[in-house]
C-alpha cells in the first residue's frame, strides 16, 4: 500500500462562474498511476478499506491537496474533500502554511453527520479556523435538508444525479430551483456538479445558478485550468451577438423588424426573416449559398410560393398548414425541426432548422426568423464546435435553445 500512496497525484477540476466564465477555484481529486488499475479513486479507497489503511490514504490526500494550493492563482480557492471518519487526523499537514480562506472543506453527504456529534464539532472547529464549508453531493446522501440546517455550509454542491438532463426534464428543473431558493434564503452559494452539455449549462443559467462544475467546463487534469472557461466565454460572445443582431429585444409598435444585414451575412448558417404573411424580407449570404437562390430572387416573395418547398422526412409538404413558421408564430414559441429543402437546381437537402417568433413592444408577433444549416454539417461537428447561429435568439431567455444544434450531444468518454 505504501508504494501506491507514493504514486498518488492530484487532479484539478475547475469550478466556474456561469455568467462571466471566471474560474473561481479548483477541486482537487486524487488519482492513481495513469493506465494502472488504481487510476480510478474508488478502487484506491476500496483497497484502503480492505487493508485497514483508510487513515494513511486520507493523510496522503490532505497532504496532496495542501501542496496543490500553491499551483493555483492567488485569487482562486481550493476545494478539498475530507473524510469525516478520521476525526483525530490533523486537517493541515505539518509545515503547510496555507491561509484558511484559500482552502474550502468539502463534506460529502455520503457520510453520516447528523447523528455524529464528533463530525459536527469538527465542522465548527474548521469554520472557527477560517475555512469555508461545502456540503457536497447534495440530494444523494443522508438527510439533505437536515444536514444543511445542522452544519450551515457556505456552499452547497448539487449532485449530478439531480441535475442530469434538466434541460428536458421539468421535474429536475423544479427540484434544482427549489434547492437554489432555499440556499439563497440561508445565504448559501449554490454550485451544480456534473454539467456535461451546453443545453444543461444554459438551463442552469436560466434558473439563475451562478456556479457549476463538470466535464463540459473542464475535466480533471494534472494542471489547473486557466482563469477563464472557454465554453462560458463563448456563451458570453453569443449573448452579445443576440443584442447586436436584434438591436433591441422587441420591435416598436407599427415597425417592421429589420436586422443588421451585414451582421446576418457574417454568419455561416442560412438566415431569413419573414413577416406574418410569410413575405421574405431578409435573406443572408449563407442562405444564397446553401439554397442557390439569390437575395434578389427571393426578397419580396412569399415563402409559401414553394421557393424552398419545405417537406418533412416522410415527404409531406410543409408550406401550408404544417409550416414551421406558421406554428412558431401561432404558438409564440421557438420551434426546431429537421426538414428537407429544395435547392434552386431541384435537388433536396436535409437541414436542421430553428424558427424564432419576433415580437414588437406590445407583445404582438410580427414575423419569424428562421435559421438553417445542412444536417450533415451539424452531425459532423466535433464536441468543441459550437454553431454560431444559435446566438440569433431575439429574447435573452431563449438562448438555451442553441441546443437545437449541438448542445444536446453529451460529452462522451467520461
Q: Is there a contact between 21 and 233 (Cβ–Cβ < 8 Å)?
A: yes
Residue given cell 414553394 in the structure block? 306
pLDDT at 414 over 60: no
In contact, 374 and 349? CB cutoff 8 Å: yes
CA torsion angle 242 244 247 249 (round to 10): 20
**Most confident region among 17-26, 46-55, 305-314, 321-330 by mean pLDDT:** 17-26
Quickly state the pLDDT bin for 289 (edges 50, 70, 90). very high
- The CATH architecture one would assign to domain 238-404 is 2-Layer Sandwich (3.30)
pLDDT tens for 151-205 read 889 999 999 999 998 988 999 999 999 999 999 888 899 999 999 988 899 899 8
Burial 220-257 (b: 16+ CB within 10 A, else e): beeebbeeebebbebbeebbebbeebbeeebbeeeeeb
SS (H, E, C) the chain: CHHHHHHCEEEEEEEEECCCCEEEEEEEEEECCCCCCCCCHHHHHHHHHHHCCHHHHHHHHHHHHHHHHHHCCCCCEEEEEECCCCCCCCCCCCCCCCCHHHEEEEEECCCCCCCCHHHHHHHHHHHHCCCCEEEEEECCCCCHHHHHHHHCCCEEEECHHHHCCHHHCHHHHHHHHHHHHHHHHCCCEEEECCCCCHHHHHHHHHCCCCEECCCCCCCCECCCCCCECHHHHHHHHHHHHHHHHHCCCCECCCCCCCCCHHHHHCCCCEEEEEECCCEEEEECHHHHHHHCCCHHHHCCCEHHHCCCCCECCCCCECCCCCCHHHHHHHHCCCEEEEEEEECCCCCEEEEEEEEEEEEECCCCEEEEEEEEEEHHHHHCCCCCCCCHHHHCCCCHHHHHHHHHCCCCCCCCCC
On the 0-12 / 13-18 / 19+ scale of CB atoms within 10 A, 298 is buried
User: Please, which residues bridge with residue 22 across strands?
Assistant: 228
Cα angle vertex 265, ends 381, 325, to 5°?
A: 75
- pLDDT more than 90, % of the chain: 21
Who's near 240: CB < 8 A, 6+ residues apart? none
The answer on pLDDT for 62 being more than 80 is: yes
- Convert the pLDDT of each residue in 35-49 to its tens digit: 777 777 777 777 777
With 0-12 / 13-18 / 19 or more C-beta atoms within 10 angstroms meaning exposed / middle / buried, residue 6 is: exposed
Q: How distant is the alpha carbon of residue 2 from its chain centre?
A: 40
Q: What is the pLDDT of residue 392?
A: 36
Which residues neighbour 296 within 8 Å (Cβ) at sequence distance 6 or greater?
none
Using CA atoms, how far apart are residues 322 and 144, in angstroms rounded to an integer?
48
276 or 376, greater pLDDT: 276
Cβ pair 14, 23 in contact under 8 A: yes
CB 194 within 8 Å of CB 163:
yes
Predicted confidence at residue 151, as pLDDT, reads 86
Tell me the average pLDDT of the chain.
77
Which of the two residues, 212 and 338, has the higher pLDDT score?
212
pLDDT at 4: 66
Per-residue model confidence (pLDDT) at position 383: 40
- Per domain, the residue ranges of the chain are 2-228, 238-404
pLDDT above 50 (res 382): no
* d(C-alpha 320, C-alpha 257), whole Å: 23
**307-332 mean pLDDT:** 77
pLDDT score at 44: 74
Say what the pTM is. 0.59
pLDDT band for position 384 (50/70/90)?
Answer: very low
pLDDT at 408: 31
Segment 337-341 shows an average pLDDT of 85
Of the listed ranges 28-37, 92-101, 119-128, the least confidently predicted one is 92-101
Residues 406/389, Cβ–Cβ less than 8 Å: no
The highest-level CATH class for domain 2-228 is: alpha beta
Amino acid at each position: 500500500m505504501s508504494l501506491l500512496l507514493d504514486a498518488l497525484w492530484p487532479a484539478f477540476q475547475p469550478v466556474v462562474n456561469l455568467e462571466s466564465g471566471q474560474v473561481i477555484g479548483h477541486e482537487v481529486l486524487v488519482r492513481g498511476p495513469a493506465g494502472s488499475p488504481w487510476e480510478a479513486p474508488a478502487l484506491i479507497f476500496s483497497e484502503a478499506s480492505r487493508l485497514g489503511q483508510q487513515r494513511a490514504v486520507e493523510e496522503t490526500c490532505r497532504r496532496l491537496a495542501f501542496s496543490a494550493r500553491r499551483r493555483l492563482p492567488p485569487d482562486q480557492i481550493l476545494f478539498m474533500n475530507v473524510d469525516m471518519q478520521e476525526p483525530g487526523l490533523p486537517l493541515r499537514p505539518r509545515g503547510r502554511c496555507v491561509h484558511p480562506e484559500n482552502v474550502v472543506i468539502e463534506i460529502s453527504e455520503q457520510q453520516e453527520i447528523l447523528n455524529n456529534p464528533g463530525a459536527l464539532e469538527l465542522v465548527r472547529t474548521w469554520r472557527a479556523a477560517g475555512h469555508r464549508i461545502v456540503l457536497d453531493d447534495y440530494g444523494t446522501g443522508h438527510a439533505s435538508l437536515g444536514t444543511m440546517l445542522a452544519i450551515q455550509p457556505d456552499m452547497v454542491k448539487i449532485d449530478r444525479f439531480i441535475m442530469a438532463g434538466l434541460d428536458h426534464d421539468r421535474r429536475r428543473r423544479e427540484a434544482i430551483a427549489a434547492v437554489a431558493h432555499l440556499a439563497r434564503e440561508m445565504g448559501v452559494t449554490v454550485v451544480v456538479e456534473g454539467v456535461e452539455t451546453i443545453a444543461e449549462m444554459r438551463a442552469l443559467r436560466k434558473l439563475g445558478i451562478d456556479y457549476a462544475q463538470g466535464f463540459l467546463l473542464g475535466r480533471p487534469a494534472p494542471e489547473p485550468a486557466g482563469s477563464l472557461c472557454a465554453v462560458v466565454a463563448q456563451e458570453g460572445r453569443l449573448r452579445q451577438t443576440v443584442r447586436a443582431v436584434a438591436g433591441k429585444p422587441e420591435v416598436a409598435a407599427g415597425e417592421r423588424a429589420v436586422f443588421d444585414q451585414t451582421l446576418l451575412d457574417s454568419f455561416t448558417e442560412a438566415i431569413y426573416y419573414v413577416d406574418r404573411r410569410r413575405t421574405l424580407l431578409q435573406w443572408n449570404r449563407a442562405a444564397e449559398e446553401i439554397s442557390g437562390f439569390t437575395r434578389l430572387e427571393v426578397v419580396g416573395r412569399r415563402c409559401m410560393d414553394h421557393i424552398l418547398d419545405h417537406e418533412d422526412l416522410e415527404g409531406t409538404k410543409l408550406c401550408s398548414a404544417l409550416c414551421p413558421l406558421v406554428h412558431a408564430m401561432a404558438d409564440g414559441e421557438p420551434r426546431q425541426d429537421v426538414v428537407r429543402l429544395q435547392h434552386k437546381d431541384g435537388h433536396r437537402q436535409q437541414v436542421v432548422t430553428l424558427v424564432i417568433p419576433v415580437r414588437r413592444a406590445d407583445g404582438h408577433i410580427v414575423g419569424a426568423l428562421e435559421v438553417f444549416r445542412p444536417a450533415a454539417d451539424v452531425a459532423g461537428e466535433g464536441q468543441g464546435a459550437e454553431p454560431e447561429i444559435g446566438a440569433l435568439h431575439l429574447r435573452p431567455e431563449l438562448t438555451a435553445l442553441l441546443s437545437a444544434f449541438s448542445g444536446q450531444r453529451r460529452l462522451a468518454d467520461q
